[in-house]
Amino acid sequence: MEKALGRHLLLECYDCAIEPLNQVVFMEQMMRQAASLLEVNMIDSHFHHFAPYGVSGVIIIEESHLTLHTWPEYQYAAIDFFTCGPTADPQIAINYLQEVLNAERVRESWIPRGALSILPNPPLSLERNTQITRHRGERQVWFTDRDENVAISLRHKGDLLFQKQSDLQLVEVYDTFEFGKMLSLDSVIMCTEKDEPGYHEMLVHVPVQSFPNPLRRVLIIGGGDGGTARELIRYGQVEQIILVEIDPVVIEAVKNHI
């Protein structure tokens, strides 16, 4: 390989296991482990999940960066290592990624970056900026609920509190920084601790207080998050609440985490 400032590995992973490719927490932890195997110095990481499919992420390192993008529907992941200076044997990280992704085929392409034969020799002498402050190890892991017109992204703490595939849907609970615990179904935000009270208060109190007679028995269809039932319990005249939820995994997730 031509002598250069750095080297850029383009890694293509084909026929991977589908489920990990769509899990932002798993992908972020995998890439951080790959960076650890390369023995590089991590500074920041930013990872996003995009509904309904796919994860994008970058790890900023002192030696440059590592990036990832996945296409679960094609069982494919594209991974880049751009490093300068000495690092550990990259083949160790490549083997690790292939094993974790359960990739049937892997293609590697190496590109020299910054050919020394073209760059100034000797290099320019630049004044160092001693005011730079480095923040090491900050994690940026994001959940994105997106359709063709709107995208909503919430930063969370990087670890799933709950994840289970029921017979009907994927049920997940994340701990977000701004909105607290968040329930999502099939990668669509259902409710968060911060905003659900206003939603459920309007859903219950306006119709109940507008009803001509005191309510005695109430049927809730859906409502596995429990917010509607919670607000109804505030009325002493309510004698019975029947809640019908199609997916018991939703109730399990909410009871244990929200």
What is each CA distance from 114 to 62, 123, 125, in whole angstroms?
Answer: 17, 12, 17
What is the CA 151 to chain-centroid distance, rounded? 14
Let me know: does 190 contact 179? Beta carbons within 8 Å: no
Specify whether 64 is catalytic: yes
Q: What is the pairing mode between strands 240-244 and 217-221?
A: parallel
Main-chain phi, psi angles of 235, to 5 degrees = -95, 115
Catalytic residue among 69, 184, 187, 200: 69
Q: Is 36 annotated in the active site?
A: no
Angle, vertex CA 125, rays to CA 123 and CA 128, nearest 5: 125
Question: Dihedrals φ, ψ of 121, to 5°?
Answer: -140, 115
Annotated catalytic residue, options 8, 13, 48, 64: 64
Catalytic residue numbers, as ranges: 64, 69, 84
